[in-house]
């Protein structure tokens, strides 16, 4: 298995393509994805999953249509969280019976769209939402499958912004409410209670809370079965976290899935299979994250007091994760000639007018000059997806590499985009 990203002739490559070639042709900042890595990550889940399991890629991690097509063709389902993502999923060719609609606040038009597409299930998160779905299903006289997202009140170590499984969070229904929601659905002529779901949070690397959640779901479903409601599937939510920061290495053994999902799948599949249910999973980050990087160029360097800054052409509008979650993305120089000796410490910042506009702080990097390219690694998930036009900046291009070739799968915006839909 050849590495996705590696230095060949002292220059960083994605598969067989030197990143400098991509910068030359597509400009910077640009997101670069490896097709092979995306497929390998997807395959890792599909192979480890029990035969009848459904692996639904969480589109929110990276919704580029070319990437979605690839994952749909690989046999994945889709986890969508809005009408927009449902549109993208159908456009990419995910079959409706492999689409799950999650999310805490589905609007009427989004529910209608889900019914029109006849997707596998809607995951309901409150009694009010369930009643609305019931009304729409009844009005349209359409049998509608629902799952209930239960909030298991399980703590998992991750950033507070992406921890979701505690009662204090807005997500899911408490177990008692979930029971009455499923009973309501079972008695309703146009609703079918199909499953139960949790999602305890994202970027969790410890398997224990996931296993705990899977046990919780199996016990919950068994109790429902005891009261005459037999569910078809248990959905354990998002997948495994990936390596950022210190624990990340550019080594052939661990450059892809620094944490192999096989153990994760085994941990969640055990209790679900034992109880005799279909397993559903919704990985996002672990599919796209390690397959992509953000390629950016130094505009200026600047020394101020004790500090040295690298002012890049990518900022928080392109990659929000460092400032929003204090995420530590590895940053590699594209040309490695000056890689080894005496790194100095730099704040790697963007041009946006915010002190919080940084890609990394106090990061050891080799001497760097304007025009040098840096690669912000592990950026394939929640990178472009969270980008914006803040400060009038154009959303970056996206490139997909396949072997020795690459193509632009999303053009960089132009200034005309800033006028889109305006009078
Ligand atoms: N399913 C549901 C219902 C979710 O809410 C999420 C992520 C996933 C699946 C996918 O989880 P994953 O496998 O990616 O951990 N913007 C943040 C991450 C937010 C995750 C939100 N929900 C970040 O950049 O870290």
CB-ligand 1 contact for 285 (6 Å cutoff): yes
Of 147, 202, 380, best ligand 1 pocket probe by most atoms within 8 Å of the beta carbon: 202
DSSP states of 342-384 as a string?
--EEEEEE-SSSSTT-EEEEEEEE----TT-EEEE-S-SSSSG
The residue segments making up the domain with residue 268 are: 36-286
> 230, 254, 286: which is the final residue of a domain?
286
Residues 22 and 71 in one domain: no
Residues 124 and 255 in one domain: yes
Using the atom order of ligand 1, give the atom closest to the CA of residue 149.
Answer: 3
Q: What sign for the dihedral angle of Cα 337, 343, 346, 348?
A: positive
Residues 261 and 147 in one domain: yes
List the CATH number of the domain containing 328. 2.40.37.10
Residues 107 and 208 in one domain: yes
For residue 372, the model assigns a pLDDT of 96
CB 179 within 8 A of CB 154: no
CB 387 within 8 A of CB 317: yes
Rounded to the nearest angstrom, the distance between the alpha carbon of 305 and the centre of ligand 1 is 39
Residues 247 and 329 in one domain: no
**56 labelled catalytic:** no
pLDDT (tens digit, 0 to 9) for every residue of the chain, 423 residues total?
A: 667 898 999 899 999 999 999 999 999 999 999 999 999 999 999 999 999 999 999 999 999 999 999 999 999 999 999 999 999 999 999 999 999 999 999 999 999 999 999 999 999 999 999 999 999 999 999 999 999 999 988 887 778 777 777 777 888 899 999 999 999 999 999 999 999 999 999 998 889 999 999 999 999 999 999 999 999 999 999 999 998 875 555 544 444 445 679 999 999 999 999 999 999 999 999 999 999 999 999 999 999 999 999 999 999 999 999 999 999 999 999 998 655 555 689 999 999 999 999 999 999 888 889 999 999 999 999 999 999 999 999 999 999 999 999 999 999 999 999 999 999
Residues 221 and 206 in one domain: yes
Residue 382: alpha-carbon gap to chain centroid: 6
- Upper half-sphere CA count for residue 381 (Cβ side, 13 Å): 28
How do 54-58 and 307-312 pair as beta strands?
unpaired
Q: Residue 243 falls within a domain, yes or no?
A: yes
Give the active site residue among 14, 56, 353, 422: 353
Rounded to the nearest angstrom, the distance between the alpha carbon of 416 and the centre of ligand 1 is 32
For residue 336, the model assigns a pLDDT of 81
CB 136 within 8 A of CB 108: yes
| Number of domains the chain is built from | 2
Residues 208 and 301 in one domain: no
3-state secondary structure of 13: strand
Q: Residue 47 falls within a domain, yes or no?
A: yes
CB-ligand 1 contact for 321 (6 Å cutoff): yes
Nearest residue to 23 via CA among 420, 379, 374:
374
Residues counted in the chain: 423
Nearest residue to 100 via CA among 233, 224, 267:
233
For residue 256, the model assigns a pLDDT of 41
Residues 210 and 316 in one domain: no
> 271, 286, 301: which is the final residue of a domain?
286
Rounded to the nearest angstrom, the distance between the alpha carbon of 285 and the centre of ligand 1 is 7
CB-ligand 1 contact for 130 (6 Å cutoff): no
> 286, 320, 347: which is the final residue of a domain?
286
Task: Give, using CA atoms, the residue closest to atom 8 of ligand 1.
Answer: 238
CB-ligand 1 contact for 382 (6 Å cutoff): yes
CB-ligand 1 contact for 289 (6 Å cutoff): no
For residue 249, the model assigns a pLDDT of 56
Distance, in Å, from the CA atom of 267 to the CA atom of 50, rounded to the nearest integer, reads 12
CB-ligand 1 contact for 149 (6 Å cutoff): no
Rounded to the nearest angstrom, the distance between the alpha carbon of 81 and the centre of ligand 1 is 10
Task: Give, using CA atoms, the residue closest to atom 24 of ligand 1.
Answer: 382
Residues 98 and 191 in one domain: yes
List the CATH number of the domain containing 154. 3.20.20.10
Distances (CA, A) of 131 to 81, 125, 134, 170: 19, 11, 5, 18
Q: Residue 423 falls within a domain, yes or no?
A: no
Using the atom order of ligand 1, give the atom closest to the CA of residue 241.
Answer: 15
Residue with tokens 């005309």: 416
Task: Give, using CA atoms, the residue closest to atom 19 of ligand 1.
Answer: 162
CB 171 within 8 A of CB 162: no
Q: Residue 382 falls within a domain, yes or no?
A: yes
Distances (CA, A) of 81 to 87, 122, 319: 11, 10, 21
Residues 264 and 309 in one domain: no
Using the atom order of ligand 1, give the atom closest to the CA of residue 325.
Answer: 25
Q: Residue 422 falls within a domain, yes or no?
A: no
Using the atom order of ligand 1, give the atom closest to the CA of residue 197.
Answer: 3
CB-ligand 1 contact for 284 (6 Å cutoff): yes
Residues 149 and 251 in one domain: yes
Tokens of 81: 């969280």
Residues 365 and 319 in one domain: yes
Tokens of 389: 């036009």
Q: What share of the chain is helix, strand, coil (3-state, %, to 5)?
A: 35, 25, 40
């Amino acid at each position: 298995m050849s590495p996705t990203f590696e230095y060949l002739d002292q220059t960083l490559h994605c598969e067989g393509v030197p990143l400098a070639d991509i910068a030359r042709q597509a400009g910077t900042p640009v997101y670069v994805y490896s097709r092979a890595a995306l497929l390998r990550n997807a395959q890792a889940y599909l192979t480890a999953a029990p035969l009848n399991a459904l692996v639904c890629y969480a589109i929110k991690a990276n919704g580029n249509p070319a990437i979605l097509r690839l994952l749909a063709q690989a046999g994945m389902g889709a986890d969508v969280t809005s009408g927009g993502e449902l549109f993208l999923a159908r456009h990419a060719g995910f079959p409706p019976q492999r689409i799950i609609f999650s999310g805490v606040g589905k609007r009427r038009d989004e529910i209608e769209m889900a019914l029109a597409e006849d997707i596998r299930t809607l995951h309901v998160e409150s009694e009010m939402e369930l009643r609305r779905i019931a009304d729409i299903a009844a009005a349209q006289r359409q049998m509608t499958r629902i799952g209930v997202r239960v909030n298991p009140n399980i703590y998992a170590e991750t950033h507070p912004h992406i921890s979701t499984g505690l009662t204090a969070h807005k997500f899911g229904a408490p177990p008692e409410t979930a029971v009455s929601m499923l009973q309501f659905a079972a008695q309703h002529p146009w609703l079918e209670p199909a499953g139960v779901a949790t999602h305890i949070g994202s970027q969790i690397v410890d398997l224990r809370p996931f296993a705990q959640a899977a046990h919780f779901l199996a016990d919950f479903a068994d109790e429902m079965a005891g009261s005459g409601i037999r569910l078809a599937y248990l959905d354990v939510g998002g997948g495994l976290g990936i390596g950022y920061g210190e624990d990340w290495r550019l080594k052939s053994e661990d450059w892809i899935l620094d944490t192999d999902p096989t153990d994760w799948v085994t941990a969640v599949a055990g209790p679900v299979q034992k109880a005799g249910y279909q397993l559903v999973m919704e990985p996002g980050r672990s599919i796209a994250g390690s397959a992509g990087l953000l390629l950016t160029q130094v505009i200026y360097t600047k020394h101020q007091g004790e500090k040295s800054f690298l002012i890049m052409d990518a900022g928080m509008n392109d990659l929000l994760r460092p400032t929003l979650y204090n995420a530590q993305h590895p940053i590699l120089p594209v040309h490695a000639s000056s890689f080894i000796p005496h790194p100095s410490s730099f704040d790697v910042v963007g041009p946006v007018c915010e002190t919080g506009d940084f890609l990394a702080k106090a990061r050891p990097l080799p001497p760097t000059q304007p025009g040098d390219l840096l690669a912000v690694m592990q950026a394939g998930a929640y990178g472009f997806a969270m980008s914006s036009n803040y400060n009038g900046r154009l959303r970056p291009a996206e490139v997909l590499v396949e072997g020795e070739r690459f193509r632009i799968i999303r053009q960089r915006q132009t200034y005309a985009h800033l006028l889109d839909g305006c009078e």
